[in-house]
Amino acid sequence: MMSSFFLYSSSWFDFNRINVFIILGAFFIFVIYFIREAKAGKSLFVRRIAGLDAIEEAVGRATEMGKPILYISGIEDMDNLQTVASMIILGNVAEMVARYEVPLLVPICRPFVVPVAEEAVKQGYSKAGRPDAYNKNNVRYISDEQFAYTAGVNGIMLRDRPAANFMFGSFFAESLIMAETGFSTGAIQVAGTANIHQLPFFVVACDYTIIGEELFATSAYLSKEPKLLGSLKGSDLAKFLIMVSLIIGALLETFGITKFTSWFSVQ
């Protein structure tokens, strides 16, 4: 019976894929290391993104004009990472807005996102020392239908004429409609999404665009959360090592040395 146990246990681990195990293990070590560094108070460098400066500029412009700010978090639910990142950014925008006493309008597409957005805005106002200025009615559920939600957001843009529109999250066909409507009202617009098929529309219709993974970097940069910073730095280091490996592999293959590249093959 003992021999049969070892016979079957030999299939628990495929030694032909030890390279995958080593690579994944190294990635997790990088992430854990940077998380521990962040928790220890070490300053982890994150490249400043131009769109972050634009957020402060847009809030200042809205303050001068005495007009509200519109924050759109996309059309996906809370199980989407882009929505999670958007809620983190929303909390930081709310903190900034609270200092300037500017109305912040947050139309929501999904019901489950509403309480998260309410809590994010509430915490932002509390951090700014203005919990009394928080207005729960400014976080509004519109509709979970894509274009019904788009029509509702466009109506807010045309009626309230916000001075700044922030669009961070997962967007699809509605992106150009909302961005064009905001452009027509003269609002300064800052957008960001990891849906690369929608980026061209934001680029042409918005003043600043946060591209792809910069959305997640923005949430980590603003929140200073150790887990987010550690994950960001760990993944960046892993990408750098992958690029170095590609260059080395290409050079070795050029000279007919195949052992290095064969190690990365998965059988």
Q: What is the pLDDT of residue 11?
A: 67
Q: What is the pLDDT of residue 10?
A: 55
Classify each residue of 222-238 as buried b or exposed e, where b means 16 or more C-beta atoms within 10 Å of its C-beta.
bbeebebbbbbbbbbbb
Query: pLDDT tens, 111-164?
Result: 999 999 999 999 999 999 999 999 999 999 999 999 999 999 999 999 999 999
Q: What is the pLDDT of residue 41?
A: 82
Question: In the chain, where does DSSP find H-type helix?
Answer: 2-9, 18-39, 50-65, 81-100, 113-127, 146-160, 174-184, 199-205, 214-223, 226-254, 259-263
C-alpha dihedral over 229, 230, 231, 236, to 10 degrees?
90
Domains and CATH numbers, the chain: 19-47+236-267 (no CATH), 50-223 (3.40.50)
C-alpha dihedral over 249, 254, 255, 256, to 10 degrees?
80
* Cβ atoms within 10 Å, residue 59: 22
Query: pLDDT tens, 207-264?
Result: 999 988 888 888 887 778 888 888 888 888 998 999 999 999 999 999 888 888 888 8
Q: What is the pLDDT of residue 73?
A: 96
* Cβ atoms within 10 Å, residue 131: 13
> At 14, is the pLDDT very low, low, confident or very high (cuts 50, 70, 90)?
confident
18-39 and 226-254 are packed helices; what angle lies between their axes, rounded to 10 degrees?
140
Coil, strand or helix: which one is 208?
strand
The span from the CA of 254 to the CA of 34, in Å, is 36
Q: What is the pLDDT of residue 95?
A: 92
The span from the CA of 207 to the CA of 219, in Å, is 20
> At 4, is the pLDDT very low, low, confident or very high (cuts 50, 70, 90)?
low
Please compute the mean of the pLDDT values over residues 30-39 and round it to a whole number: 91
Question: Which carries the bigger pLDDT value, residue 66 or residue 9?
Answer: 66
Claim: this prediction has a pTM higher than 0.85: no
Question: Which carries the bigger pLDDT value, residue 12 or residue 54?
Answer: 54
Q: What is the pLDDT of residue 267?
A: 67
Query: pLDDT tens, 35-93?
Result: 999 888 888 887 777 777 788 889 889 999 999 999 999 999 999 999 999 999 999 99
